[in-house]
Structure 1
Amino acid sequence: MTFGASTMDRAKRMNLRLGNGDEILGESLYTQPGLRGHLVYPGLNGDREGEFCTNLDTFDVKGKVVMCLPGLIETEQKADVVEQAGGIAVVLLSSQMAGSIIVDVPDTVFLTIAVNYPNSLKLVEYVNQSITPPRAARVELVPVGTITGVTPTPAVPHFSSRGPSIMNGGILKPDILGPSVNVLAAKNNSASGFVLLSGTSMATPHLSGITRHGHVNPAGAMDPGLVYDLQFEDYIRYLCGLRYSDKEILQTASMSVDCNQFGRIEQEQLNYPSIAVTLSYSITRKVIKRTVTNVRPEPTSYTAEVSLTA
């Protein structure tokens, strides 16, 4: 089974109320109310040290909220640089790759707020348009606290595979999504004892015993309805069908295999709880077989549905 990462509908919200009346959504572990100041972006003119807040010796950030790009150094180090330069808070911008998902809510002693990529662009534009006094960019940090019902959820972050498999078009991958973005976890070397961690490794231990396909549904796993009967030997025939050599299959299966004796099946014919079929002008019809067992105590009817993508 392979796991994909997904967001939850929970956020640690802190917003940035701009001088032009706009309110930008952000996330932070801090709840201090009423902090106000000028918003500055040392990297506005393309200075690399200013963009990433690796060195602010040549910038006037004293008493200001400082925007920084992620990367080059750890977020904690950026916060230290801003604090030593006299800044009062850090706004951690997001890269285009991260898109609309905030995957790093910083665990820093210094007040730090993370915003997603679309909001990062808005903030840079706001500072750019307000660069000269008296039009200097004003900002107020507005703590909201933990909220739920955030949409769209589940959403898949950039660090996780969205599928399908580039090696095998016969079954859908990943098999299941699980909450893996900003998961609250205990950590012995953090300032608070807890941190928000992101990564597919956060989902794996929670999902390893759940076999229902789709976003994770623990209650559904207690009553799966249909069970797809799949044996170890089926995987051998599947690997043989993918044209792996006997030596390569030995490395995976830890047993000597002769594909001529085991036989081969096409990739779509693995008795797996997902089906993916690629059709073309030359191939317009395929017959796919699955063997299932109804584990409910009563007779049950099921209806197959097809999702077509161009």
Structure 2
Amino acid sequence: MAIEWHISPMATPILKLGCSLIFTISLLASSSAQSDTYIIHMDHSAMPKAFSDHHSWYLATISSISDTAKSTFTKTSKHIYTYTSSVHGFSASLTQSELEALKKSPGYISSTRDRQMKVHTTHTSQFLGLSPSSGAWPTANYGEDIIIGLVDTGIWPESESFSDEGMTEVPSRWKGKCEPAGTKFNSSMCNKKLIGNYVKGASFFGYANGTSSDQAIQDGVDILSLSLTVAIEDDFFLEDDSIAVASFAAMEKGVFVAASAGNDGPNYFTLVNGAPWMLTIGAGTIDRKLEGVLTLGNGNQFSFPTVYPGNYSLSHKPLVFMDGCGNVNELKKVKNKIIVCKDNLTFSDQIENAASARVSGAVFISNYSSPSEFYTRSSFPAVYIGLQDGQRVIDYIKESKDPRGTVEFRKTVTGTKPAPRVDDYSGRGPFASCRNVLKPDLLAPGTLVLASWSPVSSVAEVRSHSLFSKFNLLSGTSMATPHVAWRLIKKAHPDWSPAAIRSALMTTAYSLDNTLSPIKDAAANDSPATPIDIGSGHVNPTKSLDPGLIYDAAAEDYIKLLCAMNYTNKQIRIITRSNHDCKNRSLDLNYPSFIAYFDSYDSGSKEKVVHRFQRTLTNVGDPMSNYSAKLIGMDGIKVSVEPQKLVFKRTEDYTLTLEGPDH
């Protein structure tokens, strides 16, 4: 849950923002079937005096274990990267026997096998309330000179989106280099801003993945945007999560880290990238529908979801009700007509049968009229409607002497309601590795987002012909992450800590959709979404520039949390790269949200459990502000806050108490 603090009136400061510089980073993978890539954590202080630097020490260590394992490789061929910022140590390709030998070497702390990374892969700016002429963009000067490190699978630098026309010079604090990387990428392709830029008139056929974080810290980025995650295994702890470890070091250096929540929803505990020192972002829809229209001969019309990319329409074609679509031979008899199917077969089977029969098109009637994006992007011209509309189509066919229909694609409708909704694929909390902090933090536009695309990679196939485009419509929490306005806040408030930026985004988020009802959950028949689904709500870029109050936190606060979670000294050292005695422990992180566990099956029990949360608020608004708390109760839970009014100078404390059935 979250607590709202209200003030009236609130001052609105004048702020400035601007454009951004982004670099891309390639990801490492295992190079040999006989070996795996490992990230090795070493005790930085254990380097023998005989070595001039840690890199030389690591190479010598690799050489020594190769002799032990009686291998015939060179030390440099096994060594991949030396870490100096996010962790202390190196990555190397090692056999199991070499790894065991390494564990006996002086200075060894731990090793983590490099896991495969999963990628979490227009109108969205208007939906966010961003305008070139007013609001957060011009107020913040478009985030000018903020350096953002984007970690994803790669780029197509020739795209118009990477043009640096109108860009200012690269900030002098940038320490990175533009070096050849990936496939057919050379340094001449770099410019003043290798980022996705606004491109006028972009469309999609008429419709609207080791070393990266460490290098990013050295290069001097302000923000890290991570659209991927490590593959989660059982008993997965934070020290096993390379992204969590690297992002802790980034946070210590003042780098704000935002990451996608993953695309494995909608079940509980499917969220990833939930370390408490990073911002975790889920994906939602926007107020835009990409659809087609079926028009019957009697004038009745039915809209349906589609992203069919073909330049194709079905005009005044005969309609035939086939009942089922299981018999391909029967379908072939009406191959120049539009078939109407009401079948228990999956959409996939029905589409395959209709395409094999080479019918002109098909209307699929189902109790689920909004199929997944996988089917709406089908290369077959299909109409998807629900049972009620489907019955009207069937009745028309039976009653008409010459039933006909027209199908039009490529329709874009904006201003649709309700929006936003959290989409079904968005990862849900709690975060299994840290259940004491509510995750995700925010929701942002992530469904069917118009994005740049490589023109040599096909975006679709229509009737055995591949289609190519400079743009594509993509969905995923990786699409949502770059929509969050951290860049604008960083430009407006360059001295704010990563926790302060996260707080500003969370406390100004909204929880009502454009019908003024609670944001809905697409995976739960549009019932109201919960904080486990959407965190504090949907990002609000303009309001986030002036939050009034912030919840701040520093590295020592996260260490207290790890200690209270009973992490061992070794585990904490892996994450923080330093030793801690854990004399100070606290599960009560100064976070803008709260999570408490009660037994819902024992609500009538006389035994009660009390959860108290201590928070410290910092006033970044009007210096003479007064704030009052607004509480919204929950069934079976007694909620109170003390004090109920805060009179500010700089910081004030309050305590939130939740009392409910014992678990």
CA deviation vs aligned residue, 1:149-205 (integer Å, no higher than 9, x gap):
111111011111344556766543210001011111222233343222111111123
Paired-residue identity, %: 32
Structure 1 residues 240, 63: closer, same or farther in 2, change over 3 A?
A: farther
1:154 corresponds to: 420
Partner Cα distance (2:400, 2:335) in 1: 18
1:7 corresponds to: 285
Conserved in 2, the CA contact under 8 Å of 1:126 and 1:137? no
Q: 1:261 aligns with which of 574, 579, 582?
A: 582
Partner Cα distance (2:446, 2:452) in 1: 15
Instruction: Give runs of aligned pairs for residues 99-248 of structure 1, distance below 5 A.
Output: 103-104=373-374, 106-107=376-377, 111-113=381-383, 115=384, 119-122=385-388, 139-142=405-408, 145-165=411-431, 170-187=436-453, 188=455, 189-190=458-459, 191=467, 192-207=469-484, 209=486, 211=502, 212-213=505-506, 214-248=537-571
Partner Cα distance (1:38, 1:244) in 2: 69
Q: 1:308 aligns with which of 633, 645, 654?
A: 633
Structure 1 residues 172, 18: closer, same or farther in 2, change over 3 A?
A: farther
Partner Cα distance (2:430, 2:291) in 1: 33
Aligned length: 287
Equivalent residue of 2:289, what SS? strand
Partner Cα distance (2:451, 2:477) in 1: 14
Q: 2:615 aligns with which of 287, 290, 295?
A: 290
Partner Cα distance (1:16, 1:10) in 2: 19
239-248 vs 146-155, greater mean Cα deviation: 239-248
Partner Cα distance (1:40, 1:121) in 2: 17
Partner Cα distance (1:154, 1:101) in 2: 18
1:24 corresponds to: 302
Conserved in 2, the CA contact under 8 Å of 1:105 and 1:182? no
More RCO (CA 8 Å, sep 6+): 1
25-34 vs 272-281, greater mean Cα deviation: 25-34
2:122 corresponds to: none
- Select the structure of larger CA radius of gyration: 2
* Mapped pair 1:273 → 2:592: yes
Equivalent residue of 1:235, what SS? helix
CA deviation vs aligned residue, 1:243-273 (integer Å, no higher than 9, x gap):
344444455x243555x5253223xx21111
**Taking structure 1 as the reference length, what is the TM-score of the superposition?**
0.71
Partner Cα distance (1:40, 1:160) in 2: 39
Flag structure 1 segments of 5+ consecutive residues without an equivalent.
Answer: 51-55
CA drift of 1:235 comes to: 1.7
Structure 1 residues 15, 233: closer, same or farther in 2, change over 3 A?
A: same
Conserved in 1, the CA contact under 8 Å of 2:364 and 2:382? yes
* Mapped pair 1:87 → 2:364: no
Structure 1 residues 305, 72: closer, same or farther in 2, change over 3 A?
A: farther
1:59 corresponds to: 331
Partner Cα distance (2:452, 2:478) in 1: 15
CA deviation vs aligned residue, 1:232-251 (integer Å, no higher than 9, x gap):
22222223323344444455
Structure 1 residues 285, 101: closer, same or farther in 2, change over 3 A?
A: farther
Conserved in 1, the CA contact under 8 Å of 2:282 and 2:442? yes
Higher strand share: 2
Structure 1 residues 277, 83: closer, same or farther in 2, change over 3 A?
A: closer
Q: How large is the Cα RMSD of the aligned pairs?
A: 4.0
Partner Cα distance (2:541, 2:619) in 1: 19
Amino acid at match of 1:255: R
CA drift of 1:127 comes to: 6.8
